[in-house]
Amino acid sequence: MMTVLHIISIAAIPALIVFILIFAALRGVKIYEVFVEGAKEGFQVAVRIIPYLVAMLVAIGVFRAGGAMEMLGTIVGPITTLIGMDPEVLPLAILRPLSGSGALGVMSELVTTHGPDSMIGRMASVMMGSTETTFYVMAVYFGSVGVYRTRHAVPGGLTADFVGIISAVLVTQLFFG
C-alpha cells in the first residue's frame, strides 16, 4: 500500500505533463510556443493574489498571535467534549480552516506526543484530511480573479468545515473506538 501510494505521488506529475505534451504534439500543436504563451500569465496571477492574501493572512496572524485560539478553546471546549472530541484535538479543529501549515504543525505534534495509533493521533490524522484551509483557498482563488463580494461561499465553506470536523470525530470513534 505504502509503495503504491509512493509511486503514484512521484509519477503522477511527470506522467501527466509528458502525456499532455505528446498528445498535443501528435495533434500538431506548436507546444513550445503555446506553453510559453500560457505561462506568461503566471506572474500576473501571483501578483494579483497578493492584496487578498495579505488581508486574510494578517487577520489570521492576529487571531493566532493574540492567543484567541486558546480563549475560543475554553469557550467551546465543554461542547466539543460532549461529542467525544478530546480537548487536545480542539486547537487542530479551530486551526484547520484558518492555516494549513499551522494545522499540520499541531497535527504532527499530537501524533508524535500521543502516538500515531492512539485515539488522539488517529483523530488528528483523520481531521487533517477531512477538510481544507478554507480561508486561504478563498483568498487565493477569489483573489486571482479580483472577486471580493464572496456571496454564499463563506457560509457554504464553513458548513463543509464544520461537518468535516464533526464527521472526523464521529468516524474515528466508529472505526477505532
Partner 1 sequence: MLNYIWLGLILAGIIAALSTDVSDLLSDKYRNEKPIDIVLTLEDGIEPAAGKEVDGTMTINLEYLHTFYGLDRVEDGLHTFTVHLTFSSSEKAVARVPVQEEFPSIWDEMTEAQPTDDDALAGSIIIVNRAGTETYNAEFTPDPLRFIGLQRVTNDGIVSYASTAVTIAIGLIGIMALWLGVMKVAEEAGLVQTIASGLRPIMTRLFPDVPANHPAMGAMILNISANMLGLANAATPLGLKAMEELNKLNKKVGTATDAMCTFLVINTSSVQLIPATVIAIRASAGSANPTEIIVPMILATATATIAGITAVKLLQRLPVYRKQLD
Residue list 94-133, contact with partner 1 (CB under 8 A): 97-98, 104, 107-108, 111-112, 115-117, 121-122, 125-133
* Contact letters for partner 1, residues 11-50 (x by CB under 8 A): -xx--xx--xx-xx--x-x-x--xxxxxxxxxx-xxx-xx
* Residue with smaller CB distance to partner 1, 41 or 87: 41
CA 133 and chain centroid, separation: 4
DSSP classification of residue 95: H
* Residue with smaller CB distance to partner 1, 87 or 129: 129
- Could you give the CA distance from residue 135 to residue 20 in angstroms, rounded to a whole number? 32
Q: Does 174 bind partner 1 (CB under 8 A)?
A: yes
Cell of 120: 488522539
Rg (CA), the chain: 21
* Residue with smaller CB distance to partner 1, 7 or 79: 7
CB of 40 to partner 1, least distance (A): 8
Interface residue with partner 1, options 5, 14, 78, 82 (CB under 8 A): 5
Query: Could you tell me if 115 and 107 are in contact, meaning their C-beta atoms sit under 8 angstroms apart?
Result: no
CA 87 and chain centroid, separation: 22
Residues numbered 77 to 96 that lie near partner 1 (CB under 8 A) are: none
Sequence-separated (6 or more) residues with CB below 8 Å from residue 169: 80, 83, 84, 85, 89, 123, 127
* Residue with smaller CB distance to partner 1, 16 or 79: 16
